[in-house]
Amino acid sequence: MDYQQAGVDVKLGRSFVDGIRQMVESTFRPEVMGRLGGFSGCFGLPTGYQEPVLVSGTDGVGTKLKLAFAMDCHHTVGIDLVAMCVNDVLTSGAEPLFFLDYLATGKLTPSQLTQVVSGIAQGCRLAGCALLGGETAEMPGFYHSNEYDMAGFCVGMVERSQLLDGSRVLVDDVAIALASSGVHSNGFSLVRKVLADCIFPEQSVPLSVILNEHHPDSLGGASLGEVLLTPTQIYVQPVLAALGRGLEIHGMAHITGGGLPENLPRCLGVHQSIVIDPARWSVPPIFQWIEDTGTISKVEMYHTFNMGVGFVIIVPANQQLQAVKWFQNHGILAFEIGKVIAGCGELVGLPS
């Protein structure tokens, strides 16, 4: 008996690493030291900082992976993995420097995981960070056939004097929303419940059929699978560029699990709240479809999904128009949704 008979193909693993080497190294920044394949990744600290602060973040993609398995489409969830981490790090005002991934599967399928890594590499290029390394674990009997799980880890850096921790936010500052690209990577357990129970409730229809063949009129002819697998928007480059051009950003929030009510107050200072007006933006059709199909309350929708707002920046009122114009000129729809008020850390204005 040997390791391969136990379900782990070491030679195939080496071949997989060799196959992804070029796409990984396409993300390298000048600070990367060495090549892919060592026990660890080495990264030289960027120059020009007086008091550099390291900022770290980690996340996964959650049960959105179930949709990727059903559609045999794995590129977009790789982008999601990067986006969930780099957008979090960005909220501190930090520039993401490098990213690492962990992929685990029951049986290594190089064509499948190469798609995943190509998405991770694309996400890193979009964020301007290096894919410094990772781990691919083959674990027979632990995962279902053709399924995998993954986690991402990101490290960024910011000057201590520029760190965003809520202390800069002032009453009467304005909240500028940056539009999401769709559902992003949160709430998919509820999405899958709607898909399973509400489209063909009397029949046992495979998820792949529902995703590929169901084209709601409200989605403009696109299939549910196409819309739901749209990757999470990465906001890093336009936000960092705005900071570099002198836009005064006092706080930032990445709208992930828990929606606006859970995430937006996290960027505030003490004795502050924020009031928003949902009439200020148009909720993308996919959210209305989920709400109507699953008969879900507005309260639940806003507490589960981003509802079209993927990221929020807090700016002085006199920079509102400048901020909106900047992001729209960089291809991201932006709109003013509310302002900071005195309070106790709550979000005011959503359905309750």
Residue 185 has pLDDT above 80, yes or no: yes
How far does CA 81 lie from the centroid of its chain? 6
Mean pLDDT (the chain) is 95
Q: Are 187 and 305 in contact (CB under 8 A)?
A: yes
Match 């309350």 to its residue by tokens: 297
Q: Are 92 and 164 in contact (CB under 8 A)?
A: yes
How far does CA 273 lie from the centroid of its chain? 25
Identify the structural domains of the chain with CATH numbers, from first to last.
Answer: 10-162 (3.30.1330.10), 164-352 (3.90.650.10)
pLDDT of residue 37: 75
281-284 contacts, C-beta under 8 A, 24 or more apart: 281/177, 281/179, 281/308, 281/309, 281/335, 281/337, 282/308, 283/307, 283/308, 284/180, 284/182, 284/308
Please return the burial class of 68, using the count of CB atoms within 10 Å of its CB with bins 0-12, 13-18 and 19+. Answer: buried
Residue 27 has pLDDT above 80, yes or no: yes
pLDDT of residue 266: 96
Of the listed ranges 13-17, 76-80, 337-341, 348-352, the least confidently predicted one is 13-17
Query: Would you say the C-alpha torsion 141, 142, 144, 150 has a positive or negative sign?
Result: negative
Q: What is the mean pLDDT of residues 89-107?
A: 97
Structure tokens at 316: 């002085």
Q: Are 89 and 164 in contact (CB under 8 A)?
A: no
> CA-CA-CA-CA torsion for 342, 343, 345, 349, nearest 10 degrees?
-90
Q: What is the mean pLDDT of residues 183-210?
A: 92
Grade residue 199 by pLDDT with cuts at 50, 70 and 90.
Answer: confident
Residues 6+ apart with CB under 8 A from 214: 199, 223, 224
Grade residue 8 by pLDDT with cuts at 50, 70 and 90.
Answer: confident
pLDDT of residue 197: 92
The string of pLDDT tens digits covering residues 31-73 is 999 877 788 999 999 999 999 999 999 999 999 999 999 999 9
Amino acid, res. 92: S
The string of pLDDT tens digits covering residues 310-321 is 999 999 999 999
